[in-house]
Amino acid sequence: MNDVVQFESVGLRYGMGPEVLQDVTFALDSGSFHFLVGASGAGKSSLLRLMYLAQRPTRGYISLFGRDVSTTPRDDLPALRRKIGVVFQEFRLLAHMSAFDNVALPLRVANVRESEIKRHVEELLVWVGLKDHMKARPSTLSGGQQQRVAIARAVIARPKLLLADEPTGNVDDHIAQRLMHLFDELNKLGTSIVIATHNEAMVRRSGRKVLKLAGGELRVLDNVADDDSDEFASVFAGDRGRILL
Amino acid sequence: MKFRFAGPELPFARDDTTRFLPWLMAFMVFLAALSVAGFFVLGDAARAIDRGIENTVTIQLPAGDNVKADEDRIAGALTMLRAMPGVASAEALNREKIVQLLEPWLGAAARSTEIPLPWVIDVRVDRANAPKAEAIAALLQPYIPGVMVDDHGVWLQALLRAVRSSEWIAIIVVLLNGLAAAATVVFVTRAGMGLHRETIEVMHFVGAHDTYIARQFALRASLLGLKGSVIGVVLAAPALMLLVLLMGNLGFGLLPEIRLGVGTWISIAGLVPVAAAIALVTAHTTVLKSLGRMI
């Protein structure tokens, strides 16, 4: 089996509340590229949290890189997490560390040599246009710059699975296209990518597969055209004001 | 452009929860140092008492009106005692020695001729075969009415038990201090984990092992413990020296001279690495346990 992610009848509820995800079943192949769409509150972030091992499901089966997450020993979870890059919607950069150190973090926890860290991190920060901000603390960076630092941190360790929550939400068109190009390049190198987004134009333009969440249920669409156009458009209806592309 | 990684990922420098840890550790190490010193002093006292218990019995003979008659009775008593099985030796103390013995209790009055001082015979017995105090009294009573036999072993045993109990109390106090230090570290570490939850989560998401995170907390706690314990020992040293000086001035005749030997000071200094190790292990364990409850 070549599935990077496999969900079977996964359900998730918080406390005694209603299920935010119901019977979610899907699989992501190695090297796949999906957009995750859904209205606000549809459960996109919850689905991503399950995929980056921040949350255990209430029920169902989740496998990452062929390993049953529920039976994976705790000591083996870091190795799984190192195969996953995450771009958080709220960036989650460490405020007390420079942009360089934030991006270097995944390599440092993996005990990569400092000389290698320096070379890779500098190269990547130059690539995302932050050459002159390597020493800057996140609080001194704009939202777009912080987002690029967060993306650089997510991809620095060449993850096999990249999960991004609204990665182009705070950047201008030019940077957004560069970031999408970066994601494409990573994807060509074999990284499976899931991007949660409200950016309708980006999804339509890409022609990529879509994971559509509605009412806690997931549908996998080969492309936007497979969906009822009105239904698909309704996913974005409330978010048009936020779309930059 | 040269970059240098400034330190651990967790921003402990901004952490108010650890501000008082060194002072709490200092206080506990200070108390532990006093207890350790007490343990050694009590040990010396116990050994001195133990030596006293070994084989001495004191016999008091009431002084009569005629010194010559008293001396004859003492000579007779000595002859009887030396012939008694289990008695190794029997010697009468001279007047000056008796006065010296009583001076700590009576002061200058011990030298007064107004006070009739008893005669005293110091008997060394073979402890394995020692005659009972009652047997000695029964032997001498017909010859010297009013004779009193004091077996030091009886009350010295009680004193020794009290001293040994105090030694245990000193040990227990040291252990309780260790437990209190560990509990403080647990509390501070948990508070720190709450404060740095966001950073810990991010570190987890990028693949940090629990031990990687725990090591940072442990090293921090250990450094603070080291700092606090050095302060505690530095404060305890002059306090102990002052205490020894004051106790020495009391001039107790009952207990041996109070002094803090090299072994005592080494043990007190040993509290520094012990406190640091307690902080290190406790913080590491606390973090691992807490992280174990996270996904």
Q: Please report residues of B whose CB lies closer than 8 A to that of A90.
A: none
Residues A122 and A216 in one domain: no
What amino acid is encoded at B116 in this protein? P
Which chain B residues touch A if contact means CB-CB below 8 Å? 1, 3, 5-6, 9, 11, 14, 198-199, 201-210, 212, 292, 295
For chain B, strand residue ranges (E) read 56-61, 87-92, 119-125, 148-151
Residues A179 and A59 in one domain: yes
Which residues, including other chains, have CB under 8 Å from residue A103's CB and lie 6 or more apart? A121, A124, A125, A149, A152, A153, A156
What stretches of chain A show up as alpha helix (H) in DSSP? 44-51, 77-81, 99-109, 114-127, 143-155, 173-188, 200-206, 229-237
> Can you tell me the distance from the alpha carbon of A121 to that of A130, in angstroms, rounded to the nearest whole number?
11
Number of domains composing chain A:
2
Residues A109 and A140 in one domain: yes
Instruction: Enter the DSSP assignment of B94.
Output: P
Could you tell me the residue ranges of all domains in chain B?
12-50+157-292, 63-146
Q: Above 70 in pLDDT, residue B276?
A: yes
Q: Which of A97, A134, A146 is best to mutate for the B interface (most B CBs within 10 A)? A: A97
For residue B205, give the nearest of A86, A98, A118 by CB distance: A86
CATH number for the domain that contains residue A216: 3.40.50.300
Instruction: Enter the DSSP assignment of B220.
Output: H
Displacement of CA B204 from its chain's centroid (Å): 48
Cβ atoms within 10 Å of B223's Cβ, excluding its own? 17
Query: How much of chain B, in percent, has pLDDT values that exceed 90?
Result: 43
Residues A109 and A125 in one domain: yes
Residues A48 and A114 in one domain: no
Closest CA to A102 of A52, A168, A155: A155
Packing angle of the helix pair A99-109, A143-155 (nearest 10 deg): 20
Q: Do A79 and B14 touch (CB under 8 A)?
A: no
Higher pLDDT, residue B53 or B108 = B108
Q: Above 80 in pLDDT, residue B261?
A: yes
Which residues, including other chains, have CB under 8 Å from residue B6's CB and lie 6 or more apart? A101
Q: Above 60 in pLDDT, residue A120?
A: yes
Q: Please report residues of B whose CB lies closer than 8 A to that of A101.
A: 5-6, 9
pLDDT tens digits for range A66-75: 999 988 898 9
Give the pLDDT mean for B281-289: 97
What's chain B's length in residues? Answer: 295
pLDDT tens digits for range B169-225: 999 999 999 999 999 999 999 999 999 999 999 999 999 999 999 999 999 999 999
Give the pLDDT mean for B269-287: 97
Q: Above 50 in pLDDT, residue A245?
A: no
pLDDT, position B96:
83
Displacement of CA B119 from its chain's centroid (Å): 37
pLDDT, position B236:
96
Closest CA to A89 of A122, A46, A60, A59: A46
Q: ipTM of this complex > 0.95?
A: no
> Can you tell me the distance from the alpha carbon of A4 to that of A186, in angstroms, rounded to the nearest whole number?
15
Residues A122 and A21 in one domain: no
Residues A46 and A143 in one domain: no
Which residues, including other chains, have CB under 8 Å from residue B285's CB and lie 6 or more apart? none
B295 Cα to chain A: minimum distance (Å): 6
Instruction: Enter the DSSP assignment of A222.
Output: S
φ and ψ of B109, to 5 deg: -60, -20
- A129 part of a folded domain: yes
Q: Count Cβ–Cβ pairs < 8 Å, chain A vs chain B.
A: 67
- Choosing from A103, A134, A158, the residue where a domain stops is A158
For residue A56, give the nearest of B199, B212, B295 by CB distance: B295
The structure tokens listed for B139 are 């032997």
Residues A112 and A207 in one domain: no
Q: Please report residues of A whose CB lies closer than 8 A to that of B206.
A: 81-82, 105-106, 109, 153, 157
What's the start-to-end Cα distance of chain B, in Å?
Answer: 39
What's the start-to-end Cα distance of chain A, in Å?
Answer: 37
B17 Cα to chain A: minimum distance (Å): 17
Give the pLDDT mean for B232-252: 85
A31 Cα to chain B: minimum distance (Å): 21
Which residues, including other chains, have CB under 8 Å from residue A205's CB and lie 6 or more apart? A245
φ and ψ of A219, to 5 deg: -125, 140
Radius of gyration of chain B (CA): 31
Q: Above 50 in pLDDT, residue A202?
A: yes
For residue B207, give the nearest of A74, A81, A100 by CB distance: A81
- Choosing from A158, A175, A205, the residue where a domain stops is A158
Give the pLDDT mean for A137-143: 92
- Choosing from A131, A158, A185, the residue where a domain stops is A158
Higher pLDDT, residue B11 or B103 = B11
The range of the structural domain enclosing residue A212 comes to 3-83+162-242
Place of tokens 């012939």: B83
Q: Do A108 and B203 touch (CB under 8 A)?
A: no
- A88 part of a folded domain: no
Helices (H) and strands (E) in chain A, counts: 8, 10
- A89 part of a folded domain: no
Higher pLDDT, residue B263 or A204 = B263
